[in-house]
Amino acid sequence: MKVDAHQHFWKYDPAVHEWIDDSMKVIRKDFLPADLKPLLDQVGIDACVAVQADQTEKETEFLLGLAKENSWIKAVIGWTDLRSSHIEEQLQHYQENKILKGFRHVLQGEAPEFMLQPSFLNGIGLLEKYGFTYDILIFPKHLDAALELVKQFPNQPFVLDHLAKPFIKDGLLDGWQQGIKKLAQYPNLSCKVSGMVTEADWVNWKPNHFTPYLDVLVEAFGTNRLLYGSDWPVCQLAANYYQQFDIPKNYFKQFSTTEQAEIFGNNATKFYHL
């Protein structure tokens, strides 16, 4: 099964989606399953993982509703307040819905120390008990704190979103590369090959701009902990679905058929228990 392990749906609302600023007006509209399915069919992808874009439990229920109506949405990564004093009751409640595989907080919008506060750590510490994964969405400045987080929970399945958003536009590797290598030493952490085009020059990117970053990922994680994801529709700021898909597709063409199958589906299937 080929899987897009990272994409989003929303009914655009200026208040809810205020993060979509004027520079992003191309995605100021609804993006729903009927818009994505033809794109997946075109590139031969069978299933997807829908990831939260709004930090509310209403968002989690919205995505679960879409998954219920569309069997090819195989997993939802929702949001719940992991800092809540009632987090265990929440996780017990969510455990009943088998499509809900994990959670995410937009850590890139927080100070690095946010993810190390006791209340957040308490929530992360309960995820394994209820069989949930955790998506880590950060910038390079958060890498040291993310390392401390992953270290503390060696049995918790974590996945790093969007390579931790390196400075592809500026061609910078230092700092990010070292942080990635340290994080990848922990076998409970995987990484999504996603979100690259939006970290590049939206207008003038070239496929070879991404090669140094992909080289680092393969060296650090191997091929059995990398998951392809489109980050659709956010990718449309810089590329359509086919253009962004061609970047990892062409890079990994040099790898074995088995390795390609891992990256484009099998690893996501294992990580999220699809």
Cβ neighbours around 80 below 10 Å, total: 24
DSSP string of 110-176? S-GGGGGSHHHHHHHHHHGGGT-EEEE---GGGHHHHHHHHHH-TTS-EEEGGGG---GGGT--TTH
Question: Considering only the top CATH level, what class is 3-271?
Answer: alpha beta
Structure letter (DSSP) for residue 232: B
Task: Identify the pLDDT of residue 256.
Answer: 98
* Cβ atoms of residues 36 and 73 within 8 Å: no
Task: Identify the pLDDT of residue 269.
Answer: 98
Prediction pTM value? 0.97
Spatial CA neighbour of 143 closest among 172, 190, 107? 107
Task: Identify the pLDDT of residue 214.
Answer: 98
The partner residues of 49 in beta bridges, in order of sequence, read: 75
Separation CA 227–CA 264 (nearest Å): 6
Q: In what order do the strands lie in the sheet with 47-51?
A: 3-7, 47-51, 73-78, 100-105, 133-136, 158-160, 189-193, 226-228
Alpha helices in the chain (DSSP H): 33-43, 57-69, 87-94, 118-127, 143-152, 176-184, 211-221, 241-251, 257-261, 267-271
**Amino acid type, 233:** P
Task: Identify the pLDDT of residue 255.
Answer: 98
Tallying the residues shown for the chain, one arrives at 274
* Cβ atoms of residues 193 and 231 within 8 Å: no
Task: Identify the pLDDT of residue 116.
Answer: 98
| pLDDT in single tens digits along all 274 residues of the chain | 999 999 999 999 998 899 989 999 999 999 999 999 999 999 999 999 999 999 999 999 999 999 999 999 999 999 999 999 999 999 999 999 999 999 999 999 999 999 999 999 999 999 999 999 999 999 999 999 999 999 999 999 999 999 999 999 999 999 999 999 999 999 999 999 999 999 999 999 999 999 999 999 999 999 999 999 999 999 999 999 999 999 999 999 999 999 999 999 999 999 999 9
Joined together, the tokens standing for residue 197 give 């085009």
Separation CA 236–CA 194 (nearest Å): 13
Separation CA 209–CA 104 (nearest Å): 28
